[in-house]
Amino acid sequence: MLRHTPFHSRVAAANETSLWSHWSGHLVVEQYQISERWEHAAIRNGVGIFDASPLRKYRITGPGAEGFLAGLLARDIRRCAPGQAHYTVWCDDRGFVDEDGVVFRLGPQEYLLTAYDPNLALLSERAGAGGARRGKVVVEEVTDDLGILAVQGPRSHTVLAALAGPELARLRPFELLAARIGEAAVTISRTGFTGDLGYEVICAADDAPTVWDRVSEAGQPHGLVPFGQVALLISRIEAGLLLYRVDFQSARRAENDDQRSTPWELGLGWMLAGIDDQSRPFVGRRALLRERDEGRSRWTMMGLLVDQVTYDAVHHEAGVTPPYAFHPVHTEALVYDGTGADGRDGEAVGFTCSFTYSPSLQRHIALARLRPEAAVPGRQVALEFTINHRYVRIGATVARNPLFDPARRKAVPAPLPPGLAP
């Protein structure tokens, strides 16, 4: 049976298309309006809101909570102070990524971890196995108790500051604060899945409709619109943000090692800063050290910028209109080396994980796993497409992620305009 999020009454009323999909057992909106481009434009040029409540949520508390998470997560949670958050992954004993999520440190002994898949059994088992060594740890699933409303876009700060107050301006990326929106107690974090200036509002499930209403009202002068899955997924590809079950699979659920990935292979090696510190023997550490020291990574995650002129020309020559679909493609396409518009042959050097037309960059882009020797920014490669039931190769340029990275994402927000104080 499909479940409804705490915001469902408001989400359903706003959904003009009646286009729905499923996310973690919940009914969610694909796109609210006939044009998903308008929703994407709100993310990049104004402000939009997104119901992120289907994320699984786990509260981890107790004097042993920090030690437990330090031994589980690939990123060192000891460096995350109260009032901060970390994007992180957790691995199996062989160093393969099990899943990713965001951990919010709400207090010295209190954390909130979000994830896509059910992880209660894994977390409880790991907490129990290390309980005697790390002290008392309590793991609770609170998925249904909380709603999460993402407020994203250049004007997101202006909208939320009008409700939560000037304290919001002090938040840097991945910081959080306790606030109130109307009568509702909330936690606001400077996080999101769009790669833009944005925040996420965590509230009690019972308060969700009120929070939606207050944010929508404050956003009305700024053109606020709700956005669905399609606009979100276009934005996250532009921002080089990985999507679980698309850009990587869970090590627990994979059928073989070809379907598994390590943090090094996913471009997440920055999470492993301090891996040489022997005081934190987290799950998978030894395998990840061997991979690094022996140069055993099979892939490197990179971005691809498609040669748009050639893309259009090849389609026109075949007598078809070049597709500019705004729906991300989550199927693999082979990437070849030494092949461009001139048609020279080349060997396969990788594959795409996600592909879309980017309204921000005005060209087609992709996230791709390439062999390490081919993962060189500026290198010319080619993507394989089918046109009229025939394979064609179209040139692309290798680039570092994120492909779209506006300065406002990390900048200090502008002061709240006079007269908009809460």
**Model confidence, pTM:** 0.95
Q: What pLDDT is recorded for position 416? A: 62
150: left (phi over 0), alpha (psi -120 to 50) or beta: beta
Residue 314: φ, ψ to 5°: -65, -40
Q: What pLDDT is recorded for position 339? A: 54
Mean pLDDT of the chain: 94
Distance in angstroms (rounded) separating the CA atoms of residues 241 and 82: 25
Q: What pLDDT is recorded for position 326? A: 80
Fold classification of 300-399 (topology level): Elongation Factor Tu (Ef-tu); domain 3 (2.40.30)
CA distances from 286 to 92, 280, 291, 292 (A): 11, 11, 9, 10
Nearest CA among 6, 1, 418 for reference residue 207: 6
Where exactly are the structural domains of the chain? 8-55+145-227, 63-126+262-295, 300-399
Identify the CATH class of 63-126+262-295: alpha beta
Distance in angstroms (rounded) separating the CA atoms of residues 76 and 271: 8
- 50: CB partners within 8 A, 6+ apart: 149, 150, 152, 226, 227, 228, 232
Q: What pLDDT is recorded for position 242? A: 98
Q: What pLDDT is recorded for position 131? A: 47
Identify the CATH class of 8-55+145-227: alpha beta
Tell me which residue has tokens 């997560």: 73
- 125: CB partners within 8 A, 6+ apart: none
From first to last of its 422 residues, the chain has per-residue pLDDT tens of 789 999 999 999 999 999 999 999 999 999 999 989 999 999 999 999 999 999 999 999 999 999 999 999 999 999 999 999 999 999 999 999 999 999 999 999 999 999 999 999 999 999 886 543 456 999 999 999 999 999 999 999 999 999 999 999 999 999 999 999 999 999 999 999 999 999 999 999 999 999 999 999 999 999 999 999 999 999 999 999 999 999 999 999 999 999 999 999 999 999 999 999 999 999 999 999 999 999 999 999 999 999 999 999 999 999 999 988 788 999 999 999 975 444 457 899 999 999 999 999 999 999 999 999 999 999 999 999 999 999 999 999 999 999 999 999 999 987 666 555 55
CA distances from 409 to 156, 157, 199, 309, 375 (A): 11, 11, 10, 30, 26
Q: What pLDDT is recorded for position 420? A: 55
Q: What pLDDT is recorded for position 414? A: 73
Residue 85: φ, ψ to 5°: -140, 155
